[in-house]
A and B are shown apart, each in its own frame.
Chain A
Amino acid sequence: MTPEEREQLIDSLIDGEIDEADFLRIEAELSVDPEVRALYYNRLKLDLLLQREASGSVDDSGSDVAQAVAPSAAIPPVASVNILQRRLTGIFAVLAATVLGFVAWSVWNPDSSRLGSPAGLAGKLEPTAAGFAILQGQSDAVWEGDPLATGSLVPSGPLRLLSGVAQIELFSGVRMVIEGDAQFVVQSAMLVQLDRGRARAQVPEAARGFRVQTRHGDLIDLGTEFAIDAGDEAARVEVLTGEVELHGQGAARQRVLEGAAWQLSDAGVSERSDSDSLQVLGPDAFERQLSSQQVDQRRRWQQRVASMREDDRLIAWYQTQQTSADGRQLPNLAQSDSQSAGAAAIVACQPSSDRWGQAGGALDLSRTGSRIRVDVPGEFGSLTMMCWVKIYSLDRLYNSLFLTDGHELQEPHWQIMNDGRLFFSVKKFDGAEGKRRRPDKYNFYSPPFWDASLSGQWIMLATTYDVQARRVSHYFNGEEIGSEAIPADYLVPRVTIGPASIGNWSEPMYRTDPQFVVRNLNGSLDEFVLYSSALSGSEIAELYRLGNPAR
């Protein structure tokens, strides 16, 4: 064999374009000749580098997770500062990072100078989130700027609640109800700056010393419950139980006992002439009010579901609170003529609270092996998949939403990558007969939607597969987060499902090898819906609006 021939064979091998006879020839050469192997390694390196060079910022379907997040990734240690080295090393650091399962956004930390030290790396291993409090509940709340979701971290910086009522729970244990119109800043778990507005706080013993700062002075809690109304002229204070200490401007200090009505003003600390109650709802009363509102909302949603069940496009609608008498099955609520999917079987799931706060209304899939088994016969054109899930963490490489058993031709797979991207694909080619270079499917990824602050919150995810428009779109909480045309080569006009799992992946039935990969969703599922049509963006937004408990 001439050197030229050898190189050609190696190129064909790496291209996946080699036939069996040539494969055996080059394998023989590789086996006996270290120089041929050296050439092979060099060509593999060239291939790897060319692929990276060509993909640039484009995420081709064969590229790994790392590549997609690399451009925004932290810059790990490099001795010589060099853009190229940075970028390449970044890819590999992030590759490692994504494998380790920590959320992509925690790597986007501009403070990367310490990454070189082991301590810096250890720091990066822990996901971080920012805030001192959770927005526990809200009623008719209107926020200046973007709305805040119930259950989310309260952002740092000034907040303006224009109207309505919100309750925040600080990490110190303080529960605080704030009524609009109010302007405030959560400075720490022990300090809230209240520039304007009315609030009532319940302070547990562990948070004694909690402080509310107003323009006219500070209130320091000495244990229990108080109300405060910060106005332009003065901050009026009412102690409901226990006592507080008021610190006016300068040296003025005053202990105020239960039942007393005082105020902070530019004149210092003084007893109020009016002894009117401030009439702010307490945390307990507010929670009761919210929970009765949720019961109402849940009932209204169920009424809507009852009317939507007859939609002809429905293949399946499973609600985890609607189990069969023995609690092992979820009936298919879809009542369209065309549906033929039966009841779903619950495997190894634990009951958990649903998104309306009702105990036992949802299914927890976090125990290894948990899944909800379905069988969906038939062929479909387009598809919509929608679910309400509460995810604790994305700690598997693939976190399952809805996967057919194995992955056969024409079958869809819907899951979440551990960097927080939604993943959808329909298998187009059979691996055995396809060209080796060509992937057997095209993967449609959304941009990452996940960060650690979403952990434990109910979210709605949806993906549509539109054969007519040749497009796959991903939705997070009713909003489109990504949409991509289906490459002509990879369009599958008729999709089949068959036996499948919600929240996990099952390898083909009758497989006897007990080993399995862990892909179950580390979280809970409340609702799963499948349509034989691609719902429009506005239909999905409407499903979210009606089904969202945290309004």
Chain B
Amino acid sequence: MQVQLKEIAHGRSGDKSDTSNLCIYARKPKYYQAMKEQLTPAAVKKHFEGVVFGDVIRYDLPQLDGFNFVMHHALDGGATRSLRLDTLGKTMEAALLRFVIEIDEK
């Protein structure tokens, strides 16, 4: 079945100048594999189309059922110089929760 990531995951995002990092964890270990297969750097970059303009790197944290994503050129130049409302990219993680993911069952 298809669900939005918000049904099965939680996390937080932060910033370092123009780079956004977000960590995302499966709410239950059984969702980790589906996230690993579908939340590829390419898929995440496509999801953030028009927002993230640089490389997306994923670091796997299997013992925590999660991932840390680092996304470059993601914050319109960074908090200090950006015209964004969310200058620090605190809502980037929530934006990832819109990602549609295929899981076996809830």
Asked whether A and B interact, the reply is no
